């Protein structure tokens, strides 16, 4: 899809990967709708986009609230025009001692990472199908393809849901001329840790769990600007999977070859 002249809506657009994708798309001639709960950062990114000479709308929108996402779609249509691109990107990390994580924390994580994506689809897809035009980008993670650590279970489970949802969505939307991309980065240098919740973890456990996750990911920490460019390229080239690092493709192949052998080897290696 040619992104020039499209209206691109990006949740979690005030920071990190969302901000970088917004800037990359604006550089290529898209007008931008930024949706986020962080109002100061929202205003700053709004300014950055405006300086590129593109139209921009910044909306305080909590993707865990049905009415906020409905309003996002309504205001986008009314004030910017039809949304050609929607990036369901807002996300948070929940991890910790599984026996101590309460259901409210699970609901918080799934309410943003999974239902946030569902709400975006629910609000924008009918209009895209009607117009037979549009592109949806969902932000998953390498953690949605391979379980990184046991302590990351809530995040892993939420991202696995995003991966499955996105694959099915792509299959479904094809008949209507609506495309889908799934972004699965490893480590990216963003503010993600700021909003994360960590339950019942000792400092030592935190450090060893982080190391374990990094070891399994095996990649490098990427800059968000690179990831933003990859998102814009995927929309242009109409690519489904955006997997920035080859080492993660190898992980997926190992897992796909034999899930049981893959997990057994990790458990034998002392993985938690």
Ligand X SMILES: NC(=O)c1ccc[n+]([C@@H]2O[C@H](COP(=O)([O-])OP(=O)(O)OC[C@H]3O[C@@H](n4cnc5c(N)ncnc54)[C@H](O)[C@@H]3O)[C@@H](O)[C@H]2O)c1
Does 188 bind ligand X (CB under 6 A)? Our answer is: yes
By CB under 6 A, residue 233 contacts ligand X: no
Burial class (CB in 10 A: 0-12, 13-18, 19+), 8: buried
Give the C-alpha separation, 241 to 238, whole Å. 10
Q: Which residues pair with 135 in a beta bridge?
A: 85, 179
Assign residue 96 a region (left: φ > 0; alpha: ψ between -120 and 50; beta: otherwise): left
Q: Give the x-and-dash track for 114-153 against ligand X (CB under 6 A).
A: -------------------------x-x------------
Residue 218: which region, alpha, beta or left (left: phi > 0; alpha: psi -120 to 50)? Answer: left
Which of these ranges, 48-56, 85-93, 207-215, 247-255, lies near ligand X under the rule CB under 6 A? Answer: 85-93
244 near ligand X (CB under 6 A): no
15 binds ligand X (CB under 6 A): yes
Considering beta carbons, is residue 41 or 95 the nearer one to ligand X?
41
Of 77, 195, 201, 210, the one binding ligand X (CB under 6 A) is: 195
Which residue among the candidates 110, 115, 155, 160 is catalytic per the annotation?
155
Task: Calculate Rg over the CA atoms of the chain.
Answer: 18
To the nearest whole angstrom, how small is the minimum distance from the Cβ of residue 252 to ligand X? Answer: 14
| Sign of the alpha-carbon dihedral angle for 150, 154, 157, 160 | negative
Active site residue 155: yes
List contacts with ligand X (CB under 6 A): 11-12, 14-18, 36-38, 41, 61-64, 89-92, 112, 139, 141, 185, 187-188, 190-192, 195
């Amino acid at each position: 899809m040619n992104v020039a002249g499209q209206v691109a809506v990006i949740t979690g657009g005030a920071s990190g990967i969302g901000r970088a994708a917004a800037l990359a798309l604006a550089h290529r001639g898209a007008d931008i709708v930024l949706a986020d709960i962080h109002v100061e950062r929202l205003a700053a990114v709004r300014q950055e986009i405006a300086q590129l000479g593109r139209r921009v709308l910044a909306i305080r929108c909590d993707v865990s609230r049905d009415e906020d996402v409905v309003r996002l779609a309504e205001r986008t249509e009314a004030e910017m025009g039809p949304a050609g691109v929607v990036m369901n990107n807002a996300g948070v990390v929940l991890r910790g001692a599984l026996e101590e994580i309460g259901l409210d924390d699970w609901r918080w994580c799934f309410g943003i990472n999974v239902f946030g994506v569902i709400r975006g689809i629910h609000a924008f897809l009918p209009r895209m199908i009607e117009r037979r035009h549009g592109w949806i980008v969902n932000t998953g993670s390498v953690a949605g393809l391979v379980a990184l650590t046991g302590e990351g279970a809530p995040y892993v489970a939420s991202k696995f849901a995003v991966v499955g949802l996105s694959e099915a969505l792509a299959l479904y939307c094809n008949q209507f001329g609506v495309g889908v991309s799934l972004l699965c980065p490893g480590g990216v240098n963003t503010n993600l840790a700021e909003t994360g919740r960590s339950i019942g973890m000792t400092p030592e456990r935190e450090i060893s769990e982080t190391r374990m996750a990094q070891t399994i990911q095996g990649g490098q920490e990427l800059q968000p600007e690179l990831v933003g460019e990859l998102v814009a390229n995927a929309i242009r080239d109409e690519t489904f999977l955006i997997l920035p690092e080859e080492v993660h493709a190898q992980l997926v192949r190992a897992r796909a070859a034999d899930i049981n052998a893959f997990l057994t080897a990790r458990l034998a290696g002392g993985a938690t």
